[in-house]
């Protein structure tokens, strides 16, 4: 199956379990991989035959910058569900939510989750 990838989408949100995360907020990075049949788009060079990734970006932005969640798992789930709901050509989606400023004691590069959902 073909795929479209959006990586390093950077949004500011207020997700987390701690009060200071909800008050101050922080950056969240998303990587989204959408699986679909892109043959028609490649053959016709027609935007309507593919997935408009500018619209996918806006969908993700509304979720990450919208209603706060305690868990980044919920952010990933909401994003994956919205993509499958709103973009009919997507057959499978992987959403990775990175929380590089997670309140973890010690030195670390990133904290992230990935969800993979398939159209039923």
Domain architecture of the chain: domains with CATH:
2-118 (3.30.1130.10)
Res 120: pLDDT: 84
DSSP β-bridge partners for residue 116: 94
pTM equals 0.95
Question: In the chain, which residues have pLDDT < 70?
Answer: none
List the catalytic residue out of 24, 61, 89, 99.
99
69 is written with which tokens? Answer: 């969640």
Q: Which of 66, 41, 61, 64 is nearest to 51 (CA)?
A: 41
Dihedral sign for Cα 118, 99, 54, 63, please: positive
Q: Name the nearest CA neighbour of 112 among 94, 101, 97.
A: 97
Q: Is 92 a catalytic residue?
A: no
Hey, how many other C-beta atoms are within 10 angstroms of the C-beta on 83? 21
pLDDT for residue 71:
97
pLDDT, averaged across the chain: 96
């Amino acid at each position: 199956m073909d795929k479209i990838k959006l990586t390093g989408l950077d949004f500011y949100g207020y997700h987390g379990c701690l009060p200071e995360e909800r008050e101050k907020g922080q950056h969240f990075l998303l990587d989204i991989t959408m699986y679909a049949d892109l043959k028609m788009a490649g053959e016709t060079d027609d935007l309507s035959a593919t997935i408009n990734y500018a619209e996918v970006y806006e969908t993700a932005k509304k979720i990450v910058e919208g209603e706060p969640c305690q868990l980044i798992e919920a952010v990933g789930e909401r994003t994956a569900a919205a993509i499958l709901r709103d973009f009919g050509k997507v057959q499978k989606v992987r959403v990775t939510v990175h929380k590089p400023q997670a309140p973890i004691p010690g030195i670390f590069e990133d904290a992230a989750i990935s969800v993979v959902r398939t159209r039923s």
